[in-house]
Chain A
Amino acid sequence: MREVDLAVVGAGPAGLTAAIEGAKRGYSTVVLDMNPRPGGQLIKQIHKFFGSREHRAGTRGIEIADTLFYEAASAGVEVIVEAEVYAIHDSTLEVVVQTFAEDSLILPSEEATTSRSRPLSIAARRIVLATGGAENALSFAGWTLPGVMGAGAAQTMINLWRVLPGERILMVGAGNVGLIVSYQLMQAGGEVVAVIEATPRIGGYGVHAAKIRRAGIPILTSHTIVSASGESRVERAVIAKVDASWEIVPGSEQELEVDTICIAVGLYPNARLASLAGCELHYFPGLGGWIPVHNSRMETTVSGIYVAGDLSGVEEASTALEEGRLAGICAAASLGKERAGDHDEIKAIEGRLLGLRSGPFCQHRQDAKQELIGIGEAQCPQQ
């Protein structure tokens, strides 16, 4: 049994910043991530980020991942990759570490260096869950055919593994993910035949829509996918108009010759581990679904377990960076060594989060988070 002060699950922007804050305060900190490389979704974000300079706007996500990882490593954080946490009980994380490729980015620990798949138990005084989000599925006739995939999966294929999933692509969903992945599929050499969106509005930023429009890709709003078909994989898709009550407009069907259909219809918080750990969940559709109830210090209804990032409401990398920092500082402070500057730092983070959650695109998230934290303040352990 290993013992650490702080264990963080998930090495994305929220998990890494939480760990950095813990380690900076002198606490032994370990981060566990099931993927072979730390960074979470940042490692496939090849576009320049929005936001402000303090959120590294203008920098590509992949570069932010590298910076965060080195920052964590130099703060003394131990990052164990290819490590899946499958249970949490009595402050102990049960982990299975899958493989240890010679060249994987592991900072080796004493216990975990040898075998290809071995169990590991870690007793942690505090836990930060930063398990991120997962893609919503969409079912339609033919949706199980090879060639139908999440937009995030396609993005992983092109940007991480450099494999183009197909040559003629239909993107379903015009939120930021659908628009950005469409752009990146073009950069990778694919042809995006169309982006369709069931609602009458483009959900993503106008600038993302504009850059794929000037590349000649049509964005069809009030359109849905009816079916996919093909011999052994996707060969065509049928799309159709939908009316105000989401019914297909008869006769509006059109067939598109495509070999790949990407689904970008939103993300939900990956709350399975939080749920297993006994954290109370609450349903917030505006934040993606079931979310662990937490207070303003990001602590859940289970004392000592904190959350951050998409798990505590699907938002963006910039908010994840801030929430991770907040969770890390609060978790560390609760271990007894509140530093002189902690209070001011927390106030500054809260101010920046407020800024990120303002404006017509983001205000609804602020409202939902406020409601969530309101519930959390009543239900979560008091300081």
Chain B
Amino acid sequence: MSPAINPPSYPSQQELRNAPGYPSQKRLEKGPVVAIECIEEIPCNPCEQACPQHAITIGEPITNCPHLDEDKCIGCGLCVSQCPGLAIFLIDLTHSQGSASVAFPHEYLPLPKEGQTVRAVNRAGEPICSATVVRVQNPKTNGQTPVVTVAMPRKYATEVRGILRAQGGKKNGG
């Protein structure tokens, strides 16, 4: 069987530390790098082709989990929008003095606006801190998967994986 990710249905810190696609703390400290939170052996490999630095390897069989060569990753984030599982995040612990940024795919409308203050959520969808929207990128090459970058206090960077959705005045589902 594959690693049990249920409950609570998203990877634990322990599972991530053991995942071949998750960067080391040392690498995270150095600056922008992606975290591939893909820990199940599923048949999928677009991330491998998405990386111009050849920092991501799946190889054969296609069910291998992605392996990140953290020294080759330059933190360009091109893979973030290309993962069909929306499981890649770009983390920059060096965003500014005391703050970090996290970029994540955000396929919901309306999109947040740059400069806006939002509530950042963790993997369980719980709001954990305020964040500022740094960038909203949706070029054609993203294939309609907008990537939102938010900045927040550094200590939250390994927890923040999204933001509360704007829902016509309604609060976040659930």
Contact = CB atoms under 8 A, between A and B. Distances in A.
Nearest to B38: A207
A208 B121 CA distance: 17
Nearest to B63: A359
Contact of A206 (B9, B43, B82, B168): B9
Given A191-B173, A216-B173, A360-B1, A355 B43 contact: yes
Interface residues of A, number: 45
Interface in B2-49: 2, 4-11, 37-46, 49
A361 B62 contact: no
Given A52-B43, A358-B61, A202 B9 contact: yes
Contacts of B170: 191
Contacts of A321: none
Contacts of A127: none
Interface string B48-92: 011000000000111100000000000000000011111100000
Contacts of A189: 167-168
Given A52-B62, A358-B61, A359-B63, A211 B7 contact: no
A218 interface: yes
Given A215-B162, A218-B174, A50 B6 contact: no
B122 interface: yes
B125 interface: yes
Contact of A50 (B9, B85, B108): B85
A217 B145 CA distance: 21
B5 A209 contact: yes
Contact of B174 (A47, A50, A192, A208): A192
A48 B82 CA distance: 9
A208 B85 contact: yes
B123 A49 contact: no
Nearest to B50: A58
Interface of B is mostly: loop
B73 to A, nearest CB: 19
A58 B61 contact: no
B98 interface: no
Nearest to B65: A359
Contacts of B144: 60
Given A215-B165, A218-B174, A359 B125 contact: no
Interface residues of B, number: 54
A193 interface: yes
B96 interface: no
B107 interface: yes
A305 interface: no
A54 B129 CA distance: 42
A205 interface: yes
Contacts of B117: none
Contacts of B125: 213-217
Given A48-B84, A217-B173, A206 B11 contact: yes
B174 A58 contact: no
B173 A211 contact: no
A249 interface: no
A284 B171 CA distance: 44
Contact of A205 (B46, B49, B85): B85
Contacts of B87: 207, 210-211
Interface string B156-174: 0000011011011010111
B111 interface: no
A194 B174 contact: yes
A201 interface: yes
A53 interface: yes
Contact of B173 (A52, A59, A193, A360): A193
A206 B2 CA distance: 10
Given A206-B9, A209-B10, A215-B172, A361 B37 contact: no
Contacts of B62: 51-52, 355-356, 358
A361 B39 CA distance: 13
B41 A58 contact: no
B143 interface: yes
Given A50-B85, A59-B143, A209-B5, A217 B174 contact: yes
A260 interface: no
A209 B124 contact: no
20 contacts: A51-B44, A57-B46, A58-B46, A191-B167, A193-B173, A201-B4, A206-B9, A206-B10, A207-B87, A215-B125, A215-B162, A216-B172, A217-B125, A217-B174, A219-B9, A355-B43, A361-B41, A361-B43, A361-B63, A362-B63
Interface of B: 1-2, 4-11, 37-46, 49-50, 60-63, 82-87, 107-109, 121-126, 143-145, 161-162, 164-165, 167-168, 170, 172-174
Interface of A: 47-53, 57-60, 186-187, 189-194, 200-202, 205-211, 213-219, 221, 318, 355-356, 358-362
Nearest 7 pairs between A and B by C-beta? A359-B63, A207-B85, A216-B125, A58-B46, A48-B84, A216-B174, A50-B44
Given A214-B121, A219-B7, 4 more contacts: A186-B173, A206-B11, A210-B11, A356-B62
